[in-house]
A and B are shown apart, each in its own frame.
Chain A
């Protein structure tokens, strides 16, 4: 590809033309020298492999070939070398793309051996990657499809020009060949001769395009000569440019055969399969011989079809049944002839089985007409009903059993006419119940066997229950108890369960009762009731005492036993005694008076309406009991009192309660009258006092009487009257709005009669009339003068304190502020002096100047600290949430130089966020930590900062390992200007901790120190928890 020096113009033009052509072709041309180094490559290589030509030139060509393909590459070069000037066959190799992927390249190599020193390979390269990929995917797809075809259970074939171009293994198998053997054979070899025209015709139709696809059946011959039925589904296709048929083929021989059989027997079997349990039969109508019986016959009657077909059915039934059967056969025939081919109603026949036993069947039959309209056959279905027959028999037997049971049971069953109440049936046990024989009873009615007084109730019962039963068929009459009159005149109790018997229409035809003898139970019941009554009487009498006194002698004639419990005396001891002996004198007198009054009233016929008499009785042991007594005077025939009868009840308990109540009430009244508070009631409109408790004098100096002529506004200053009126108004308003507004607290001065003023705290409550309107206010006043005085004093003192504090702070601020000015002068000029004249005067002068500078500096520090101290209270910012960790970080930054110089170790535990003044908290921590460093002693300071929670506070602790503090100084170190150490050893203003204290106190906390000399100190302070208040 190099320009030859000796080329003419034409040659040069040609070369140039060739070059353009080369460089624009999509193929790549590459020149490689004998040593395998790339000499030239066309620019199109960039499209193929991503490299620019210059990136490849002078590189080894083999480096761009896939390692697996390098042998191919070497071989191709070798082949080309052996045939100089001739191109090799295309060889496919993979070449490396610049992006690292591999591309399939087809290479044609040509070796040019002249000139000998310029021998080289010219390689034509074409990208076949896409072709390769397509081939690969085709191969995969082919694989898949082949697998599918070979494993399919249907035969597959492809037919072209009558030759089977492809058959799958299943196809070969269908025809008895090995897989593959059938491929290449003629289709005609397989087709049954008779069906060949059909097959050919169908092939033609598809090949000609008349139909696209077709499904049809035909017969084939297998290798062994067997005729088989096949079904094919073939579709027209094009294979290798020529029409062909591709299709599948199914061996349907078995299916065909089954279909055939099915068709033949379907009719018969269908009937059978639907009626498996029943026997189906067909009888020739003319000969009356069986022509068919279903195969289950043997199970049915023990005979086989062979034994019964051709015989008359009558041979297999009992003679009685034979007549029934024939009768029904005739009926069925008549029905069929009359155009009703549905047969006869099922009838029962007794069959004789092969073993000689009989069985009952239910048969139905119908007649079939032949074409001539005559009856040809009779067909029937027989059903085994022996089980049903058995069940009927069992039922009959059990009915007998029940009857037996009814006749023998101890209860008595009666059935009676609902109108005449005449007995219709009685169980045998009736004789035991009534003493009459059943025969006798059947002549009687129910009322005739009842005691006369029970006739009506029972008749009512029957009338009532009958009516209910007629109205509601599910009605069950309640149990009824009644005595019955026996033949011998005695009486027994029975309990009867009554039911009503209905006919088919539901109408009641008779009554039935099941009766049980409950005589014994009744007797027991009666006994119990009597006994219960006795006991009840007794119990009732234990509480009260009944007594009778002779009206004339006034002596006790009777006392109920409970009297002994009342008084402790035996009843006998008290009889014939004057009852007043057992009373206190006062009660005795009362009793006598009461008795005589009652007697007089009784004589004159007046009914006395007096309250029960309350008397005090004296018990044998001397103690008293209260009784309440009512009495009644019995009059003799002569119209004079004969006796006095009384009932006394112990009311000691009640009396005691009454006494307690009275005492308690008295206590409360005493309390109200004597309490310290003042209670007043006043009209809400006129403000006039309506009531005042006796303590009014104490409160107001006015007597209660005086107050009742006064109004509220005379007692309190005007502005408070206005407030009271407002309270009244708002209460009324709230009341109307439905809000409950019951009481209000109110502090007011009260003007006493002597003009002095006391303070009262008043609680208002309200008194309403029937309509719910407020009519009066009630106040309970408490004297709070002392409290008020204390409060006022406190407020005054607080204000004083605040003022003096403020003044003090203001003073400190102004003082330190104003001190700055002269101080600055002193400091500045002494420094200026030192600057300009140090060493120029004598040594004394230098020393004096040094003292002056030092003093000025210390004063400066002092003033700054004082300013800081006073600012804690004056220059305040509102509290905000402060993260103490951030504060500590800030502090440690501020002190970083000190910490570094003194080799301080500071450990900070987790610290909380609190509400406070961030600037002040920074100062607080900074002062304490700086203090700890200052008083650290010999060893490097170790300082620990921590916080722990306690109740509503955080306790912060700053511990050090310093020189410690003597306990006597624990309190004083926090005071302003208090110093423990000399200024020389530990310089400072003595204000640092005072500032700390002030900051902590401003935040609502406390500060303290714990320490031991030489063992370090712990400064602790509390700050309120966030949200802890």
Chain B
């Protein structure tokens, strides 16, 4: 893992329509120490196009990790999740749901769709920063990838 890291930065796909959240997330990762590449798309259709390297995304890099919001314009986060996990090529990519929702139903349903984890965006800035650091530590440093 460390060797892997030494050679190549982690590729992250952030699917988030709210520019505020995008900025916050980017700021949070900026404060972290791990070298990473974050690609941001604003809706589900874009996200699927990127993942499938369609048209303008033909040269897109396959992400190592996806941060997915649930409430998205065009294609909902749930649909995106479903499509990823039903796609043999894509389903091995870990998907982290990062949403404002605390809804029990959302939690159950996304796990049923094989989400790798479900996180609620904290309201407090401090908490948000801590959460992103946790993601960084766990998903970028601890977790082994195929």
| B20 in contact with A827 (CB, 8 Å) | no
| B100 in contact with A824 (CB, 8 Å) | yes
| B100 in contact with A827 (CB, 8 Å) | no
Interface size class of B (residues with CB under 8 A): 10 to 19
| A821 in contact with B128 (CB, 8 Å) | no
**In the bound complex, how far is the Cα of B20 from the Cα of A823, in angstroms?**
11
Chain B: CB-nearest residue to A827: B123
Q: Kindly list chain B residues whose C-beta atoms are within 8 Å of the C-beta of A831.
A: 124-126
Chain A: CB-nearest residue to B19: A825
CB distance from A857 to the nearest CB of B (A): 9
Q: Kindly list chain A residues whose C-beta atoms are within 8 Å of the C-beta of B20.
A: 824-825, 828-829
Q: Is A820 positioned at the interface, with any CB of B under 8 Å from its CB?
A: yes
CB distance from A881 to the nearest CB of B (A): 23
| B27 in contact with A825 (CB, 8 Å) | no
| A820 in contact with B100 (CB, 8 Å) | yes
Q: For residues 804 through 857 of chain A, which have their beta carbon under 8 Å from a beta carbon of chain B?
A: 820-821, 823-825, 827-829, 831-832, 835
Q: Kindly list chain B residues whose C-beta atoms are within 8 Å of the C-beta of A824.
A: 20, 100, 121, 123
Q: Is A860 positioned at the interface, with any CB of B under 8 Å from its CB?
A: yes
Q: For residues 979 through 1023 of chain A, which have their beta carbon under 8 Å from a beta carbon of chain B?
A: none
Q: Is B45 positioned at the interface, with any CB of A under 8 Å from its CB?
A: no
Chain B: CB-nearest residue to A826: B20
**In the bound complex, how far is the Cα of B124 from the Cα of A860, in angstroms?**
10
Interface size class of A (residues with CB under 8 A): 10 to 19
Q: For residues 1 through 53 of chain B, which have their beta carbon under 8 Å from a beta carbon of chain A?
A: 18, 20-21, 24, 27
Q: Kindly list chain A residues whose C-beta atoms are within 8 Å of the C-beta of B24.
A: 828-829, 832
| B27 in contact with A832 (CB, 8 Å) | yes
Q: Kindly list chain A residues whose C-beta atoms are within 8 Å of the C-beta of B124.
A: 827, 831
Q: Known contacts A828-B20, A829-B20, A832-B27: does B125 contact A821 (CB below 8 Å)?
A: no
**In the bound complex, how far is the Cα of B124 from the Cα of A828, in angstroms?**
6
**In the bound complex, how far is the Cα of B23 from the Cα of A829, in angstroms?**
10
CB distance from B144 to the nearest CB of A (A): 33
- Of A820, A825, A828, A835, the most chain B CB neighbours within 10 A belong to A828
Q: For residues 512 through 555 of chain A, which have their beta carbon under 8 Å from a beta carbon of chain B?
A: none
| A828 in contact with B100 (CB, 8 Å) | no
| A835 in contact with B125 (CB, 8 Å) | yes
**In the bound complex, how far is the Cα of B28 from the Cα of A832, in angstroms?**
10
Q: Kindly list chain A residues whose C-beta atoms are within 8 Å of the C-beta of B27.
A: 832
| A821 in contact with B100 (CB, 8 Å) | yes
| A860 in contact with B125 (CB, 8 Å) | no
**In the bound complex, how far is the Cα of B125 from the Cα of A827, in angstroms?**
7
Q: Kindly list chain A residues whose C-beta atoms are within 8 Å of the C-beta of B121.
A: 824
Q: Kindly list chain A residues whose C-beta atoms are within 8 Å of the C-beta of B126.
A: 831
**In the bound complex, how far is the Cα of B24 from the Cα of A831, in angstroms?**
11
CB distance from A753 to the nearest CB of B (A): 58
Chain A: CB-nearest residue to B104: A875
Chain B: CB-nearest residue to A821: B100
**In the bound complex, how far is the Cα of B24 from the Cα of A250, in angstroms?**
125
Q: Kindly list chain A residues whose C-beta atoms are within 8 Å of the C-beta of B18.
A: 821, 825
| A860 in contact with B123 (CB, 8 Å) | yes
**In the bound complex, how far is the Cα of B24 from the Cα of A824, in angstroms?**
11
Q: Kindly list chain B residues whose C-beta atoms are within 8 Å of the C-beta of A827.
A: 123-125
Q: Chain B, 97-133, contact with A by CB distance < 8 Å: what is the 0/1 string?
A: 0001000000000000000000001011110100000
CB distance from A172 to the nearest CB of B (A): 109
Q: Kindly list chain B residues whose C-beta atoms are within 8 Å of the C-beta of A825.
A: 18, 20-21
CB distance from B27 to the nearest CB of A (A): 7
**In the bound complex, how far is the Cα of B6 from the Cα of A1001, in angstroms?**
63
Chain B: CB-nearest residue to A823: B123
**In the bound complex, how far is the Cα of B124 from the Cα of A822, in angstroms?**
13
Q: Kindly list chain B residues whose C-beta atoms are within 8 Å of the C-beta of A820.
A: 100, 123
Chain A: CB-nearest residue to B126: A831
CB-defined A-B contacts under 8 Å, sample of 26? A820-B100, A820-B123, A821-B18, A821-B100, A823-B123, A824-B20, A824-B100, A824-B123, A825-B18, A825-B20, A825-B21, A827-B123, A827-B124, A827-B125, A828-B20, A828-B24, A828-B123, A828-B125, A828-B128, A829-B24, A831-B124, A831-B126, A832-B24, A832-B27, A835-B125, A860-B123
Interface residues of A (CB under 8 A from B): 820-821, 823-825, 827-829, 831-832, 835, 860
List 7 tightest A-B contacts by C-beta distance, closest first. Answer: A831-B125, A825-B20, A828-B125, A824-B123, A828-B24, A820-B100, A832-B125
